[in-house]
A and B are shown apart, each in its own frame.
Chain A
């Protein structure tokens, strides 16, 4: 049986306090296996991004267990989760979130440097080459187009060779053509390296490219999708 990368058991999370208290995730059970590409869809406020944050260890849960790549995250200190994330999870954001005062190369090298890799810059250069930005290594984010910035962000997410790649609306800030190129790149790289890909999207076309769709509504996974379907390989 294919290795389980994400295992959420009976996960619930409430955010805010007082009148603004919202039960964001309600008794979520979810298993995602190695190589799967899961697209989380659903209306705004349904809990998609929060679910992604829980998988990345960025958000703790009130109840239930979160196990990512064999690491149980419940109860880990913030710094231990950060170290875990640096090695195991790659994140791609809708707004790229590159560091403006660092070149493309330095941006990609950041997670490798944080992980103590001596070859951080060589590896970062290889990743930029792999996403087609060999000539842009010394450029600052402000000197790159939106598509190029997202490529740098993907290179940065891929650089530490994480087991899990998560993407929050990765094409949301891009035009259609560029968005498609970025989606192609993301799926191709995840498939090529056998990574598990989980993305949140409002774009039905992008969701359709995933091997599995998880529909959320009001903090729950609709249609009992928490029952793990049969594993399918990521389609490049």
Chain B
């Protein structure tokens, strides 16, 4: 009856005059969920806007051409110079060591020319002109580094280090490197120096892993279309250059992709918070409509139709939800401001403050859908409140399912919600697993609630009065059990799952992995010194196990002759085609791999180039035996046929390559070697001694201690873990809100029980014991479920998706049980404490 909508609105507004006291939890739940989703979206968009708007500065150019292991040849250089002003830089990992050789540190060296930076400001402390910062003085070149390197080597400004064979003076601290983000996050601190300095260090050798970067300032006013045209010209003129080209419109693609992926994960967690909050919405709507049954019956006795009644209350619920959504939107808009400061330390991009309508709209849609999905059933039941109830002064309780149309609508909205969550995710598989797990948990929690009630009902008669009362409270009609199990269970399950994933990851990184992993990686071992290096290590560490393989860098440019950029690949396999990959060649199958399919090439094979591909990645990309892979290595384009697929144990952390080529493929190509050294039962001091000895003897070889690298990864995981825990905390807060609401809703019944029991002789102690036992039993059952479901989810993610050994962590289990008990007993008793102190007579009069 659309004509009656204005009237329904008028009635709804009149009805709401009593205020929102019963809806605070409802509003808080919606605000929290919408705030979390909108906030995460806004922060992600703010960073993206930062990347997009400051593309020139972040890239340090309008266009960036990167070549690996070789400099641009004269034709290429002429092409670049014709585009505009060119700033040349070179980046590589190397070892910086103290002048006296007592200590060393891995650095990410970046050598720049006089034009650097083309855009943005290089900030050093003290601020020095470029010449004074880098120039050679009495055989010593200048350099700048961040605080971290000064700390690691115990140096102050003016301190000296050796890089390769060249002495450098650290003349200033590096405060801000404008284009740091586009030159990649490093494992090690930056060492900024001049190109002349790097050349003098003697580190640039044939096959060295050096990134040569040419940053170009295009004439002012160059449009995106013109940039695209330059890209095409570069590709057409130099099809075999193998350069990776980026422009200001896409300054930090991997950062953008990571932020997008992470924000979508957090959005899903936010959605869980919203769904948990939905339980609070349903509880609040049901309680409200129960209190309105008399009014609803009166409306009907005065001639209102069921549909009209439904509209009146639907409008009220949506008005209240709008208030929650509005508060959530305010949170969403404020969040980028706070996050910008918090993220600054590890994403050095100033987030653009502003309002991001798309992110906010998505949060609003989620908020509205969750409200509808959870409110429709109670509303549908309210529609069928019989007016006859007014005559009988009873029968106001609502039971069973409402009309089919409401059930179908609620299910359809839930499906739309799930569809939206999956549809907006970049990794739909993960989103579907997430949505499926949430739905499954939801249904199982309903079943757990019923099972707990069933068990309580069939429990044998116990001697303890408090326990008997507690068991009775758990299963009686209208008991809190289902809503408490549901509300707390969802939040707790998510928390357990995330805590176990996080804990397992940390355990792997800090604990079991290094035992199997090598102690050192050595990079950039020149072919001429490879044997000498091996002999040196054998003398230094006779019991150690050394593995060495040829190491080249190359990029996949085509699959079966089709441009790799145009091949559609699922996100989990996309990394193989993104940027440069380490590649190698081998005569025999690598030690830590097994042949899954096909044949390994014979010794002294001399036919067409062959390649062995990692089986898992080949499956993800859609490659099979006989397909061709084209790679660009050192400016040469090589097409090889896939001869075999290998099972690679990535988690071994040994030397693993996606692609292993037949040796004849790279015959004569200059390359360096990569080596690993495994020391059994090595102590930290042994490692330090060996590292120092290698760095002194082979200053051009880059030595990476696995423990140090893992520390960096651990820090990164810790930072991600903090963000994940914050998101999980939002879901838990929603849980606690709903729990508090559910327990508060039961308070009236509790007052009644307490007073009647007191009248019959129950002491306050008996009542406290009975209520505590009830809350404890429900909390315990919920915690056990959360541990089982969360444990299962974590095992799936760790063992199946991450392919790491998964273990159950007892501390997580203990913490979960304690948390569940504290929450249920704490909130439950806090609500009923007042009740216990009440005198019976005044309450009895109102019963």
Residue positions of A touching B, CB distance < 8 A: 49-50, 52-53, 56, 58-59, 78-79, 82-83, 85-87, 91, 93, 95, 97-102, 106, 110-111, 113-115, 156, 160, 168
Contact = CB atoms under 8 A, between A and B. Distances in A.
Contacts of A49: 391-392
B388 A59 contact: yes
A58 B387 contact: yes
A101 B294 CA distance: 12
A99 B298 contact: yes
A58 B295 contact: no
B303 A115 contact: yes
B303 A86 contact: yes
Contact of A82 (B294, B305, B391, B392): B305
B779 to A, nearest CB: 37
A82 B303 CA distance: 4
Given A56-B301, A97-B294, A101-B14, A113 B7 contact: yes
Contacts of A53: 388, 391
Contact of A114 (B297, B304, B306, B307): B304
Nearest to A200: B391
A147 B129 CA distance: 93
Contacts of B295: 99-100
Contacts of B297: 97
Interface residues of B, number: 29
A99 B18 CA distance: 11
A203 B390 CA distance: 20
Contacts of B393: 95
Interface in B1-33: 7, 10-11, 14-18
A45 to B, nearest CB: 11
B266 to A, nearest CB: 41
Contacts of A93: 390-391
B302 interface: yes
A79 B18 contact: no
Given A100-B295, A101-B17, A102-B14, A58 B391 contact: yes
Nearest to B308: A114
A114 B1 CA distance: 12
Given A79-B306, A86-B302, A52 B18 contact: no
A83 B298 contact: no
B300 interface: yes
Nearest to A97: B298
A79 B307 contact: yes
A182 B826 CA distance: 52
Given A102-B14, A106-B14, A114-B308, A97 B303 contact: no
Given A78-B306, A99-B14, A160-B303, 9 more contacts: A56-B301, A58-B387, A83-B303, A85-B301, A87-B303, A98-B298, A101-B15, A111-B303, A114-B299
Contacts of A106: 14
Contact of B391 (A100, A156, A168): A168
B50 interface: no
Nearest to B296: A99
A58 B386 contact: yes
Nearest to A169: B391
A110 B302 contact: yes
Q: Identify the interface centre among B10, B302, B307, B392: most chain A CB within 10 Å of its CB.
A: B302
Interface of B: 7, 10-11, 14-18, 294-295, 297-308, 386-388, 390-393
A193 B390 CA distance: 26
A68 B321 CA distance: 43
Contacts of A99: 14-15, 295, 298-299
B391 A114 contact: no
A101 B17 CA distance: 6
Contacts of A115: 303
Contacts of B7: 113-114
Contacts of B15: 99, 101-102
Contacts of B388: 53, 58-59
A190 to B, nearest CB: 18
A40 B392 CA distance: 16
Top 7 A-B pairs ranked by shortest CB distance?
Answer: A86-B303, A79-B305, A111-B302, A97-B298, A101-B17, A49-B391, A114-B303
Contacts of B308: 114
Contacts of A101: 14-18
Contacts of A95: 390, 393
18 contacts: A58-B301, A78-B305, A79-B305, A82-B303, A82-B305, A82-B306, A85-B302, A85-B303, A93-B390, A95-B393, A98-B298, A99-B299, A110-B299, A111-B302, A113-B7, A114-B304, A114-B308, A115-B303
Contacts of B17: 101
B301 A97 contact: yes
B14 to A, nearest CB: 5
Nearest to A96: B298
A113 B11 CA distance: 10
A83 B302 CA distance: 9
Contact of A97 (B10, B16, B390, B392): B390
A52 B391 CA distance: 9
Contacts of B16: 101
A106 B16 CA distance: 14
B302 A114 contact: yes
B830 to A, nearest CB: 30
A211 to B, nearest CB: 23
A25 to B, nearest CB: 13
Contacts of A58: 301, 386-388, 391
B301 A91 contact: yes
A100 B295 CA distance: 8
Contacts of B11: 110, 113
Contacts of B298: 97-99
B14 A82 contact: no
A100 B386 CA distance: 19
A39 B362 CA distance: 62
Nearest to A160: B303
Contacts of B305: 78-79, 82-83
A193 to B, nearest CB: 18
A168 B390 CA distance: 10
Contacts of B306: 78-79, 82
B292 to A, nearest CB: 9
Contacts of B392: 49
A71 to B, nearest CB: 13
Contacts of B294: 97
A219 to B, nearest CB: 16
A58 B304 CA distance: 12
A99 B312 CA distance: 14
A78 B299 CA distance: 13
A161 to B, nearest CB: 13
Nearest to B309: A82
A52 B388 CA distance: 10
B303 to A, nearest CB: 2
A137 to B, nearest CB: 14
Nearest to A93: B390
B288 to A, nearest CB: 12
A113 B10 CA distance: 10
Contacts of B390: 93, 95, 97
Nearest to B305: A79
Contacts of A168: 391
A85 B15 CA distance: 22
Nearest to A77: B305
* Residue with the greatest number of chain A CB neighbours at <10 A, chosen from B18, B297, B391, B393: B391
Nearest to B383: A78
Contacts of A82: 300, 303-306
Contacts of A113: 7, 10-11
A155 B299 CA distance: 15
